[in-house]
Amino acid sequence: EVQLVESGGGLVQPGRSLRLSCATSGVTFDDYAMHWVRQAPGKGLEWVSGITWNSDTTDYADSVKGRFTISRDNAKNSLYLEMKSLRAEDTALYYCAVYDNSGHGFFPHWGQGTLVTVSS
Amino acid sequence: DIQLTQSPSSLSASVGDRVSLTCRASQTISNFLNWYQQKPGKAPELLIYGASSLQSGVPSRFSGSGSGTDFTLTIGSLQPEDFATYYCQQSHSNSPTFGQGTKLEIK
């Protein structure tokens, strides 16, 4: 069974930093690209960032570019998101997701999310 | 960036109804279009990939069609567990994007 477990969320003041983690099991982690997708309270899904299987390429939504950094540790089957200069509009549930781009890129596996609240 | 527009934003239907949800892309994306279902408090689940391929384990009452810019998700006969929010997602560009969602509610 594939499991993705996010952690590291919480309440943080504007301008501060936070690091999210995603521990995976049941999937050959280094076979897949990995992504972060977020969902603000009561809103839709917003893609945040992605990283290739070997960390060769990373990509970011314009809304987080220059503030967020995605990384992975294939030896630990884990994905990370370093978030700096946080803003109120970054408040959301952050999901990590496996990205299968072997044919058509899609997200077959998701975690349950970790909640980030940016507020003073 | 490729924009996806879903319609309608919300839809009321009854158990047993056949419903179709639409997703339109701002530029042609071939068949790089996927559909997800999300229930309250849960993560999204993949239903359809490549516009028309059914994900393993998904009931056959779900089907997808379309190519280019216009896509449709059809639910053949609504079941109580199908009332949820549905999102489309494109993978034509390196940066995936999602539609704003269609909320399917019980009439």
Would you tell me how many other CB atoms lie within 10 Å of the CB of residue B100? 17
Q: For residues B103 and B24, give the distance between their C-alpha atoms in angstroms, rounded to a whole number.
A: 16
Say which of A47, A101, A104 has its CB closest to residue B98. A47
CB pairs under 8 A between A and B: 63
Average pLDDT over residues A38-66: 97
Q: For residues B81 and B95, give the distance between their C-alpha atoms in angstroms, rounded to a whole number.
A: 31
**Cβ contact (<8 Å) for A110 and B96?**
no
Residue with tokens 């009931």: B59
Hey, what are A65's tokens? 């570019």
**Cβ contact (<8 Å) for B43 and A112?**
yes
Hey, what are B9's tokens? 């934003």
pLDDT tens digit sequence for B33-91? 999 999 999 999 999 999 999 999 999 999 999 999 999 999 999 999 999 999 999 99
Average pLDDT over residues A94-103: 94
pLDDT for residue A104 is more than 90: no
pLDDT of residue A103: 82
CA dihedral B33, B34, B35, B41 (to 10 degrees): -130
What is the rounded end-to-end Cα distance, in angstroms, of chain B? 36
Q: How far is CA B54 from CA A77, A91, A118, B73, B101, in A?
A: 28, 33, 38, 11, 19
**Cβ contact (<8 Å) for A106 and B46?**
yes
Query: Chain A residues with CB inside 8 Å of B2's CB?
Result: none
Residue with tokens 């995936």: B96
